[in-house]
Amino acid sequence: MKKKMELCGRESERGSAGVKLLIVAAVLILIANAGYQFIPVAYNAEAFKQEMSTSVVQAIALPASHGKTTEVVKRKIIASAENHNIPVDFQLDVREQNKTIVARVTFVQEVPVLPFGIYTYNYEFDHTAAPNGFLTSE
């Protein structure tokens, strides 16, 4: 003796849970893809900042035996840029300033955040590495 349940004007609500699940899954996949594309670029940029700072501090702390100090720093930064997947068209400026070495690197790297070329983020990198602390005091 099963009674037939009557739908009181709720025919449009049927099946909406599956659609909501599909929308949430699509949004989560897009967010995961954005993270998958962006995180390595940001990580490489931060590691490159550390390498720049290390190169500048080493140039101040150690005597230059392989040539001019600024040229040694340039070579180290260029080698580090290759290791960290930095675009080859980066601008590098290494100069001697007040008995210290200052290095500045700028570049723009395109990151495809959304798939199929829907949106591409331009990651702008602009960092100046200069020694600080006891190495700069006289």
- What pLDDT, on a 0 to 100 scale, did the predictor assign at position 1? 46
Is residue 9 assigned to a domain? no
Residues 6+ apart with CB under 8 A from 64: 72
pLDDT of residue 9: 63
> Is 2 inside any structural domain?
no
What count of other Cβ atoms lies within 10 Å of the Cβ of residue 129?
A: 23
The answer to whether residue 111 is domain-embedded is yes
Position 67 scores a pLDDT of: 57
pLDDT score of 99: 78
pLDDT tens string 83-112? 999 999 999 999 988 878 899 999 999 999
- Residue 7 belongs to a domain: no
User: Which residues of the chain, if any, have pLDDT below 70?
Assistant: 1-15, 63-67, 134-138
Domain total in the chain = 1
Question: What is Dmax (Cα atoms) for the chain?
Answer: 98
Q: What is the DSSP string of the chain?
A: -PPPPPP-S-GGGTTHHHHHHHHHHHHHHHHHHHHHHHHHHHHHHHHHHHHHHHHHHHHHHS---SS-HHHHHHHHHHHHHHHTT--TT-EEEEEEETTEEEEEEEEEEEEEEEGGGTEEEEEEEEEEE---GGGT--
What pLDDT was estimated at residue 69?
A: 85
Which domain does 130 fall in, by range? 17-135
Q: Is residue 1 part of a domain?
A: no
- Reported pTM: 0.80
